[in-house]
Homo-oligomer: A and B are copies of this chain.
């Protein structure tokens, strides 16, 4: 025991070890309970020791983001831009499933980390290789937005809840209490409409993965259509904002 703790304490701190411990801590107890003090304690070290390896908490978060973004599977060479993008976005989504805190963390930062930039750059590369003009690729990247990193972009994302990850089972309807059904009839009507009557779905709630892929494919199909039509912003962009794929 003492020996093991001793070994732990003797293992030298390093930026890498700190980042890995921070990711593990955030995975386990949620990002909101990731404090420099908790992290230091996990590492068997005094809080201020961390500051020899990371500038401050913001930089720590940036590092954590790059760690998890680096986990996203690289793009697999495929027949075209569309399946390549699709598969990689689904891979990013799997990463977010492992690190539910990452979405909010990335969105809260005001500046892009190198890892995120590298990811985005490679995604643009896929588009360009698929024959997209710089113009269209630009607008497509904006239109995809955070979805290109696998974000669900739902208003109330169950997996985003800051508390303990994993086993968020008990309350699928926590965001829509039953007593509100009367005041919001359309929502109530909609809520159970994920009847999934075609499949053997067990849960009464809706299938997150299905909703994600539905939205993703809706977007990708629209993009493909624009690409085939040779869409160009020159024909649509007007100062009075009569715009759009129309």
Contacts and interface: CB of A to CB of B under 8 A. Distances in A.
A239 interface: yes
Q: Tell which of A106, A114, A122, A219 has the most Cβ of chain B within 10 Å.
A: A219
Interface stretch (A10-18, A20-28, A200-208): A200-208
Interface string A170-182: 0000111000100
B187 A120 contact: yes
Nearest to A177: B111
Interface residues of A, number: 89
Interface string A193-237: 111111111000011011101111111011100100000011111
Nearest to A234: B198
Interface stretch (A1-9, A41-49, A72-80, A141-149): A141-149
A121 B206 CA distance: 18
A203 to B, nearest CB: 12
